[in-house]
Structure 1
Amino acid sequence: MALKLHGSIFSLAGLRVLVALYEKDLDFEFVQINMSAREHKTPQAITRYISEVYADKGTDLISKDPMKLAIQAVWMEVEGQKFQVVTTKLLVELFFKPMNGRTTDESVVAEFEKQLESMLDVYEQRLTESKYLGGDRFSLPDLHHLPNLQTMMMTKMKRHIDSRPHVSAWASDILSRPSWIKVQAMQSE
């Protein structure tokens, strides 16, 4: 019996869960929900659950080694508490407002662009030490970055990613994963 994923193909959070399901090679049925009714759940808990319950399937998204798991946990927190917050503010101003015919608040962009630059400097340093944020293989911290990172690449903030060679290589790598390409194809349908 296939799993049922209740979500929205237009929810950045829901996209993370879709990628996790594809990475784990799981059969699932996608059930579109009404986002305005607040029917969605916390994706980080769901992706972690999928990774643990289906540890023997597909891509190993969380380490069994306690030290490596701790590093992955730190980077999941960085994504959730820093990257997601900053990039979401930028995406509202640079992507969603213009898409809906609203005016971008350039003072908000300037404030959060500075935060993005500082954060990406930390990412650049980390990615000189390992290929991925959580270590030498793709894992949940990288997966959680995909939706916001993809959308950031469609804004003028792309230059900050491109100007950091390790961040740029990491972004290119994770954005070209087959699981993410499948999710992108679902959005196009």
Structure 2
Amino acid sequence: MALDENVLEKGILNVTPSLQIVNTQAPQPSSLHSQPLKILLSFYLLPNPAVMAVLRVHGSPISTAVMRVVAALYEKGLEFEFVTIDMKAGQHKSEAFLALNPFGQVPAFEDGDLKLFESRAITQYIAHEYASNGTQLICPDSKKMAIMSVWIEVEAHQYDPHAGKLGYELFYKPMFGQTTDPAAVEDLEAKLGKVLDVYEARLTQSKYLGGDCFGLADLHHLPTLHYLLGSSAKKLFDSRPHVSAWVADITARPAWAKVIAMQKS
């Protein structure tokens, strides 16, 4: 985040006024109020700890894992720097990037001296570290948080393995000039359909997967949903009324619209 002429307006520095009253003549006890006063107004530029550390996301804006992290940042209303990694050019395997993520995968995340990788770990850090900002993505109640954590795990281990592969077949392969495998699509749709049957039952009991409020369990689905809803797999979601209503709700969030806008910029 570069400093410029609008540095104060952007909140990089706090301006703390200090009002100092100096009596320029010897005071008379009976008429102190009549003595001329010289008012000195000085400003001290102090660093604002809340905005000193720059949040950085390294990755590609079309990566589902990167989109997951960016969605959490937008939900929290946090400013961040996006560092585009050219994966076609192999930047994710460069020595500089491997210092951030030794597995050579996106995203990599920095918050000051803290460096993280793995998108779901990053979103949970953001949700906890910046709990007082923006949308409350976790539950302060331990029992409610335990329920949300169950569905965070379900997304990672039951939903995403099928949804991610299906998105690869239906979106990424055509984008890279490869041929979609119809047999793989059929198999993956059947497997994902079984997971969505469980979701349909769950969503008859609560508005969101993790409870009554939107949270990480819902947010983590958004990237794969984005690609699947633009494909033939959309029918899997539309055919289940509670799932369909949930999808319509979470994909209409303003923060998610900002994530999509990043891909077009």
Q: How high is the TM-score relative to the length of structure 1?
A: 0.96
Deviations 1:106-143 (A, max 9, x none): 11112111111111110000000000000001000100
- Aligned position for 2:138: 62
**Which residue, 85, 96, 99 being the options, matches 1:33?**
85
Deviations 1:65-103 (A, max 9, x none): 111111111111111112111011111111111222222
Cα distance, 1:185 vs. partner? 0.6
Q: How high is the TM-score relative to the length of structure 2?
A: 0.69
Cα distance, 1:160 vs. partner? 1.1
Counterpart CA distance in 2 for 1:125 and 1:143 is 19
| Alignment gaps of 5+ in structure 2 | 1-51, 93-103, 107-116
* Higher RCO (C-alpha 8 Å, min separation 6): 1
Runs of 4+ displaced beyond 3 Å: none
Output aligned runs, 1:154-165, within 5 Å.
154-165=230-241
Output aligned runs, 1:164-179, within 5 Å.
164-179=240-255
**Which residue, 216, 220, 234 being the options, matches 1:144?**
220
**Which residue, 209, 219, 228 being the options, matches 1:133?**
209
- Aligned position for 1:24: 76
Cα distance, 1:26 vs. partner? 0.9
Of all paired residues, the percent bearing the same amino acid is 53
Higher strand fraction: Structure 1 or Structure 2? 2
Q: Secondary structure at the match of 2:83?
A: strand
Counterpart CA distance in 2 for 1:142 and 1:109 is 24
**1:33–1:39: 8 Å Cα contact kept in structure 2?**
no
| Alignment gaps of 5+ in structure 1 | none
Cα RMSD, aligned residues only: 1.2
Counterpart CA distance in 1 for 2:186 and 2:58 is 36
Aligned length: 189
Deviations 1:13-69 (A, max 9, x none): 011111101111111111112444225220000000000000111111010111111
Q: Secondary structure at the match of 1:97?
A: helix
Counterpart CA distance in 2 for 1:86 and 1:179 is 25
Counterpart CA distance in 1 for 2:79 and 2:229 is 30
Counterpart CA distance in 2 for 1:146 and 1:121 is 18
Tell me if 1:52 matches 2:128: yes
Distance 1:20-1:65 versus aligned 2 partners, 3 A rule: same
- Aligned position for 2:56: 4
**2:189–2:236: 8 Å Cα contact kept in structure 1?**
no
Q: Secondary structure at the match of 1:142?
A: helix
